[in-house]
Chains A and B, each alone.
Chain A
Amino acid sequence: MSKLGEIISRNEDHIRADWMKHMASSLQRADLMSKLELEEQSKALLTSIVRGVSSGETDDPSGAAWSSARELLQDISASRARQGFTPSETASFVLSLKQPLFAVIRRELSGSQDELFDALWKCTLLLDKLSLITIETYMATREELISRQQQELLELSTPVVKLWDGILALPIIGTLDSSRTQVVMEELLQTVVATNSKFAIIDITGVPTVDTLVAQHLLKTITAARLMGAECIISGVRPQIAQTIVHLGINLEDVITKAKLADAFALALQKSGRTVVRASAAANGSAPVSPAIQKEG
């Protein structure tokens, strides 16, 4: 069907001018994209369509001749998605090309009804398929954006706190799924290295449920820390959680668990060779002052 290709390429400039003129102002979104940018996008798209149509494969835009058109559409759609265009706006951008194209086709093929119908049909099929590409890319881009934002949110919501020299605390608030576990693990382990901390207290007071999966995630974190030479203590185990753990037969034999963060802290201090001494006793000199914890906090 290179006739269609001929027609389009011969009238390329006219089609483009027509397209721009008739593109509804709502589609232009002047608030999101400058006129110049829009013109450039339109020009590039039309050129790539001409290339594809000229190859003769007008029915199927998934062939090799259409690869530059496809990539261009994916780029356009992805960048528009990021800029905040709605999927309809982006698809309509492609579909609005129908009107100027049909006008040109009708003018050129007005002599033959069959040829006219054929060309119009091929044209509409093609543009429909191309606009579908933009929709799919749009969805994929939005999903990627959302998951990246979720990631950033995750990172913000699990701060690693230094309780004392060599003792870290990681209070987890909310559910612990596998992607969150990744983020949590990475941050914890990096902080372990950066602060040279031998102990990490993972407090799960704020974790609503602990099922086998959550327990697995916790165990992964603990094992990874262990491989690096740091010991984890789990604190904030509520009575219901303790029951669930036993019920599910989760094996926490190698893990030290404490009901309260304070107890876990005391244990970590003890294991690192420190004791807490009352200030008055220290002042009297009746108890060893170092390495007692003083008010330096």
Chain B
Amino acid sequence: MERIPILRMGPFLLITIQVDMHDKLAMQLQDDVAQRISDWGSAGVLIDISSLEIVDSFIGRMLANIAAMSRVLGADTVVVGMQPAVAITLVELGMSLPGVRTALNVESGMELLYGTLGTSLGAAHDRSEV
């Protein structure tokens, strides 16, 4: 079955969503992210949705879930590149994704993650030693 690829970039995970996801694919991504954070002791997750032309409540919840779950596993999540039309629609839909940090693009998203790296890197190290 196809999966959204998860790339490892040093202490972070980079996920670029470029396909119109059906629900199962989204659920699979959630599982895979949790697994990878655990496998690699990642300190941050960057999700690039600049190619997504639709984010409905299901995908919105997926993003919120990934952020919440990563936090529990000790990693920060930043969602980057939301398109204006998508943002406007999400707000109208009633979703504001409160627990999800956002940035304009991958570059600023990385800056954000590196910024908080100091605090979480210690925790990641402890985990990998266990």
Instruction: Report A-B touching, CB under 8 Å.
Output: yes
Interface residues of A (CB under 8 A from B): 182, 185-186, 189-190, 192-193, 196-198, 220, 223-230
Count how many chain B residues have C-beta atoms less than 8 Å from C-beta atoms of the other chain.
20
Chain B residue with Cβ nearest A195: B104
Chain A binder among B4-12, B15-23, B37-45, B95-103: B95-103
Interface residues of B (CB under 8 A from A): 80-88, 90-92, 96-97, 102-105, 108-109
Nearest CB in chain A: distance from B64 CB, A: 12
Given contact pairs A193-B104, A224-B90, A227-B82, enumerate 7 new A-B contacts (beta carbons under 8 Å): A185-B88, A186-B88, A197-B104, A227-B96, A228-B81, A229-B103, A229-B108
Q: Chain A interface mostly helix, strand, loop or mixed?
A: helix
Complex Cα distance, B90 from A228, in Å, reads 11
Complex Cα distance, B125 from A54, in Å, reads 88
B87 near A189 with CB under 8 A, answer: yes
Complex Cα distance, B103 from A228, in Å, reads 6
Chain B residue numbers with a CB within 8 Å of A230 are 104
Complex Cα distance, B108 from A45, in Å, reads 63
Complex Cα distance, B90 from A226, in Å, reads 12
A228 near B96 with CB under 8 A, answer: no
B82 near A228 with CB under 8 A, answer: yes
Chain B residue numbers with a CB within 8 Å of A198 are 104, 108
Chain B residue numbers with a CB within 8 Å of A192 are 84, 104
Nearest CB in chain A: distance from B58 CB, A: 16
Nearest CB in chain B: distance from A74 CB, A: 32
Nearest CB in chain A: distance from B63 CB, A: 10
Complex Cα distance, B91 from A189, in Å, reads 13
Chain B residue numbers with a CB within 8 Å of A227 are 82, 86-87, 90-91, 96-97, 102
Chain A residue numbers with a CB within 8 Å of B82 are 227-229
A sample of 17 inter-chain contacts (CB < 8 A) reads A182-B88, A189-B84, A189-B87, A190-B84, A192-B84, A198-B108, A223-B91, A223-B96, A224-B88, A226-B96, A227-B87, A227-B90, A227-B96, A227-B97, A228-B104, A229-B81, A229-B103
